[in-house]
Chain A
Amino acid sequence: MAKFADHNETFSLAGLQQGTFSSVEWVTDLLQRIERSDKTINAYISTDGEWALEQAKAADQRRASGEAGPLCGAPIGVKDVLNVQGQPCHCASRILEGYTSPYDATAVSRLRDQGAVLLGRLNMDEFAMGSTNENSAFGAVRNPWNPDFVPGGSSGGSAAAVAAGSAWAALGTDTGGSIRQPASFCGRVGLKPSYGRVSRFGLTAFASSLDQIGPITQTVSDAATLLTALAGHDAKDSTSLKQAVPDYSSALKGDLRGMRLGLPKQYFIEGMDQEVEAAVRQATEQCRELGAELVEVSLPHTEYAIATYYIIATAEASANLARFDGVRYGAREAGSDPLDQYGKTRAAFFGPEVKRRIILGTYVLSSGYHDAYYLRAQQVRTLIRRDFEDAFKQCDALLTPVAPTTAYRIGERTADPIQMYLGDIFTVTANLAGICGLSVPCGFSSADLPIGLQILGPAFGEETILRVGHAYEQSTDWHVRRPPLWAGTAS
């Protein structure tokens, strides 16, 4: 399609809004690109092309009738953990084989109400457990910048699809960094909203007190547009807060004059990748040039964050995943009695990382260990939250690396789960504290792998971090660089 020859230039909602192309044209083009690029990156578990085109057609009609919002006709991919009525929701696991969602997640229905077009289901680590997207029953996802490397996880498919140009934007979920880290590894923008900002109803829970749904996008501006649509109280999720939803796009104004940005010393540590540190330091300098004042702050309980996170997340997961027993839906392995059937079903269809975390979570809640692990972790969680409250008294937002390294080589971390868990050090704290975080591209390693800058803001401070992210992004060109696999054009 000639209009899309220079895909790089037209990959924005502006094309739809200005009538340069229709949603049907865009979606038709994208479905072909998905087919090409997925031969290498495996970002989608499934697409429903016919349905996508139906939605696109309806969106075009709506736009023609003049009632279209900014997202009308926008092609979006959805992480396989979110329920979409009539579609499968495998959570990248074999245990949900054959399951069809009977309802829409609230985040999904809000996008559909706006006329967004759902392209298909994006690959992920099984039940969102992992940081490399290698734990998927549907095969590993590969990084569009270099297919020998992981895209990050658990929203690896979401980040890879957006980076490769096989979706305009994608929904991911972030329990300990699962939006921000893959966005960083794939050189895209990832936003984890504050806990309670976006309804979790319809998100197959991994760790209910940590999970949040958020967008992975080409630009900060796109993230703001999506958050405006996604955010707000939902009567179906009691933990979604009744807090007014601003138009986040209108927060993307001006430079950073008058802002104080904190650099937490615990986030610039011995042993982190030199190139990552250099790129992030460079980005903080850039923010200073844009008018921000930089201050050093301390988050003293950071060193306990990983242990705390893996206790709380696995404890909650052990209960959340108990429902997958083969009785009402999904795969089933016959047994001699119900409990035998449960054991066989779960043994046969859960992957190893999921089993590891269920066992860990069951252990930390067991009588005799509950207080030493789970209760202690909750206490430390409070301390970590206070660290942030104190820090945000001294500054408007924090600047940190997203991860200590760039993307790992495929297979590099699978043998050592602890090593993989440690890679989450800079991201899990935001989930434990319930605050918001944004990942924006801030450079490349010598191996041409993207590096991400993390901007952390206080709970419900999304306007602040989006403003900082946008000002920084607009002063650089990292976000317009395209990977070799852009829309499946190479390899």
Chain B
Amino acid sequence: MSDAFKVSIGLETHVQLDTRSKIWCGCANVFGSEPNTDVCPVCLGYPGTMPVLNREAVRLTVMAGLMLGCEINRYSKFDRKSYFYPDMPKNYQISQYDLPLCLGGGVEIMVDGQPKNIRLNRIHLEEDVAKNNHFEGFSGVDFNRAGTPLMEIVSEPDLSSAEEAFAYLQALKQMLVYGGISECNLEQGNMRCDINCSVRPAAQEQLGTKTEIKNMNTFKGVLRSLTYEIKRQIDVVSSGGRVVQETRRWDDEAGVTRSMRSKEDAHDYRYFPEPDLMPVVLSEQEIEGWRASLPEMPTTRRQRFVDEYGLPDYDAGVLVADKAVADFFEAVARDAGNPKAASNWMMTEMLRVLSADDLEIADIKVTPAALAVLIRLVDEKAINNTGAKEVFAELVANGGDPKAIVEAKGLAQVSDTGALNTWVEEAIAAHPNVVDDYRGGKRAALQFLMGQVMRASQGKANPPMVLQALRDKLDS
């Protein structure tokens, strides 16, 4: 990107809330049911039906607001946003216009190693719409999604590159998952966003004309579409043209944004207060209760891992990045009574397996309890590290109990001095030259002999004991 231009990006991020039922009715809030099975007269917009607010959706939105440092409106209300489209059962969406639940706040991202605060404008609560499916020759509407509680997080145009937008979404996702607000499963459409983007000459104070890219549902897509759109706008302005205020669509296959509709055809949503719902009035007590129940946020947890477990800051950062991984680590550390070892296993073996097989930690067959047992076995010298790695590989492949695996594979470490001495004496006898080298001051020769003993023991010999026995024999 050219330094001659400044880029301003704002995101409107829609997040489906992790409630049991929908926002206005008792229908299940789940993904993947047969089309039009999680529906009722209310979420189908039948004549005479009325919405009843799901308080859990309010709680989750306020929790998100508290996590993101927003001001919580004690008095908030819902409004009708009118437009005709087949995905809207009532042809108006119940949303929040001038009195949203949360105002202000911010999301911290890292830019070139420095923290940058992206200010939020507001967070409001609304209903998700149905899903249109297009088939050969006809279209169908699946109303299962209609009425899913949806939180819209509106940022200020503080993001200045595609990469920052990407980092913002990742930070947001991390916090929302931490807070139990949403699973933020992108494949299931839990998180979608609209992008506002403008460029202006670096010397210009006022923001340039913006375009809107609608309905992005992957972070990669946001990154790519913004990279394209920023360049497109800079090219337009550089060649003396003017950016047209319009809504654009991201064509992922072609890798370009395309004009959808201009400002002239913009909807007039005709907002007015929803007369079927009472205003939402939150008491100080209620809000403070929710604040007290806020889960630990990633930055706090990272510091605690450093303080409490003595982990290096980098390791702590890697572990807290995914809440499930951090939870797994803490369970192992607690059970094994050895946080250092727990961290080592997580940082090396576990993350390697996860990234190699592109797995979530929830998918893996190793349980925190099993890994803790394995660590204890090593600490108690019941097996050595080589054996432990073999047990871990077995746990990854088939799960199970580490003790049983040690038994089955005959990996129990040999600490019996009689057997050890035999292997040590055999090794010394078989390699007189090496013994001479050692005695001549070549310390590495000891490693060779050590290897010979381990091989003879099929890896089961207790390494420190072997080392000690070798020294005893050679140095005497």
* Interface positions of A (Cβ within 8 A of B): 81-83, 89, 91, 96, 99, 101-103, 105, 200-205, 207-209, 235-239, 315-316, 318-319, 322-325, 327-329, 338-339, 342, 362, 365-367, 370, 374
Contacts and interface: CB of A to CB of B under 8 A. Distances in A.
Given A102-B46, A204-B47, A322-B91, A236 B84 contact: no
A374 B273 CA distance: 11
B93 to A, nearest CB: 10
A328 B50 contact: no
Interface in B246-283: 268, 270-272, 275-278
A349 to B, nearest CB: 14
A43 B141 CA distance: 39
Contacts of B277: 238-239
Contact of A323 (B45, B271, B275): B45
Interface in B75-96: 80, 82, 84-86, 89-92
A322 B90 contact: yes
B417 interface: no
A209 to B, nearest CB: 4
Q: Which 4 A-B pairs have the closest CB atoms?
A: A322-B91, A208-B275, A365-B270, A209-B275
Contact of A325 (B46, B47, B49, B84): B84
A370 B270 contact: yes
Contact of B85 (A82, A209, A236, A338): A338
B90 A323 contact: yes
B410 interface: no
A238 B53 CA distance: 8
A322 B82 contact: yes
Contacts of A370: 270-272
Contact of B80 (A82, A203, A319, A329): A319
A339 B265 CA distance: 14
A374 B91 contact: no
A152 B134 CA distance: 48
A201 B50 contact: yes
A323 B47 contact: yes
Contact of A322 (B53, B92, B271, B272): B92
Contacts of B141: 327
A238 B50 contact: yes
Interface string B41-60: 10011111111110000000
Contacts of B275: 207-209, 239, 316
Nearest to B141: A327
A328 B89 contact: yes
Of B46, B92, B141, B277, chain A has the most CB atoms within 10 Å of the CB of B46
Nearest to A341: B86
30 contacts: A82-B48, A101-B48, A103-B41, A103-B46, A103-B49, A200-B50, A201-B48, A204-B47, A207-B275, A208-B275, A236-B52, A237-B52, A237-B276, A238-B51, A238-B276, A239-B277, A318-B270, A319-B82, A319-B91, A324-B47, A325-B84, A325-B91, A327-B86, A328-B45, A328-B46, A328-B89, A329-B47, A338-B85, A366-B270, A370-B270
A83 B278 contact: no
B84 A239 contact: no
B420 to A, nearest CB: 76
B130 to A, nearest CB: 10
A89 B44 CA distance: 16
Contacts of B80: 319
Nearest to B82: A319
Contacts of B45: 323, 328
B44 to A, nearest CB: 6
Nearest to A200: B50
Of B44, B45, B50, B268, chain A has the most CB atoms within 10 Å of the CB of B50
A99 B80 CA distance: 25
B46 A329 contact: yes
Given A103-B41, A209-B275, A362-B270, A338 B48 contact: no
Nearest to B132: A338
Contacts of A238: 50-53, 276-278
Given A237-B50, A238-B277, 8 more contacts: A83-B48, A103-B49, A238-B51, A315-B272, A322-B82, A322-B92, A370-B270, A370-B272
Contacts of B41: 102-103
B86 A236 contact: no
B: contact size bracket: 20 to 34
Nearest to A328: B44
A318 B82 CA distance: 9
Contacts of A323: 45, 47, 89-91
Contacts of A202: 48-49
A233 to B, nearest CB: 12
A205 B48 contact: yes
A212 to B, nearest CB: 13
B25 to A, nearest CB: 9
A319 B272 contact: yes
Nearest to A366: B268
B241 to A, nearest CB: 29
Contacts of B276: 205, 208, 237-239
A83 B41 CA distance: 11
B86 A96 contact: no
Nearest to A91: B47
A163 B186 CA distance: 62
A367 B268 contact: yes
A374 B48 contact: no
A202 B41 CA distance: 10
A157 B45 CA distance: 27
Given A342-B84, A374-B272, A105 B48 contact: yes
B278 A239 contact: yes
A378 B364 CA distance: 59
A71 B58 CA distance: 41
B129 to A, nearest CB: 13
A324 B90 CA distance: 8
B469 to A, nearest CB: 79
Contacts of B270: 318-319, 362, 365-367, 370
B182 to A, nearest CB: 25
Contacts of A322: 82, 84, 90-92
A339 B267 CA distance: 14
Interface string B189-211: 00000000000000000000000
Contacts of A362: 270
Contacts of B268: 366-367
Nearest to A202: B48
A201 B40 CA distance: 14
A51 B36 CA distance: 31
A325 B46 CA distance: 11
Nearest to A322: B91
Nearest to B45: A323
B57 to A, nearest CB: 14
Of B268, B270, B278, chain A has the most CB atoms within 10 Å of the CB of B270
A377 to B, nearest CB: 11
Of A96, A205, A207, chain B has the most CB atoms within 10 Å of the CB of A205
A89 B47 contact: yes
Contacts of A315: 272
A201 B89 contact: no
Contacts of B92: 319, 322
Contacts of B89: 323, 328
Contacts of B278: 238-239
Of A83, A91, A323, chain B has the most CB atoms within 10 Å of the CB of A323
A236 B91 contact: no
B48 A89 contact: yes
Nearest to A83: B48
A102 B270 CA distance: 30
Interface string B83-122: 0111001111000000000000000000000000000000
B96 to A, nearest CB: 16
A319 B85 CA distance: 13
Contacts of B82: 318-319, 322, 365
Contacts of B53: 238
Nearest to B39: A328
A202 B46 CA distance: 9
Of B51, B82, B86, chain A has the most CB atoms within 10 Å of the CB of B86
